[in-house]
Amino acid sequence: MAKREKTVYDEVDRNKRNTFILFVFFFLVIIGLGYIMGELYGDYVLGTAIALVIAVFSMYFSYYHSHAVVIAVTGAKEADPVFYKS
């Protein structure tokens, strides 16, 4: 049986799946660290709650604003429409 060639849609699906897995792993690690820090300081509920806020904020920023960070870091500029017509 011949193997089907991957399409761009297959790659998009794979990327979405991997992003979801990465976010779940990150979330669990941050919550776990918050729980551990809370246990060390005597209030695991507070530690977990703070970790939850940090995890949600970090995941939101990563998902919706990471493109701006990449553009700023690379020093990208808008293409000149005279030279680069779309």
What is d(CA 29, CA 3) in angstroms, rounded to the nearest whole number? Answer: 37
What is d(CA 18, CA 1) in angstroms, rounded to the nearest whole number? Answer: 27
Q: Would you say residue 74 lies in a domain?
A: no
Q: Would you say residue 71 lies in a domain?
A: no
What is d(CA 81, CA 86) in angstroms, rounded to the nearest whole number? Answer: 8
Rounded to the nearest 5°, which phi and psi values hold at 6? -75, 140
**Assessment of whether the complete model's pTM goes beyond 0.75:** no
Q: Which amino acid is at 47?
A: G
pLDDT exceeds cutoff 70 at 1: no
Q: How many residues does the chain have?
A: 86
Residue 26 has a pLDDT of: 96
Q: Would you say residue 64 lies in a domain?
A: no
Total structural domains within the chain: 1
Q: Are 54 and 82 in contact (CB under 8 A)?
A: no
Domain that holds residue 26: 10-57
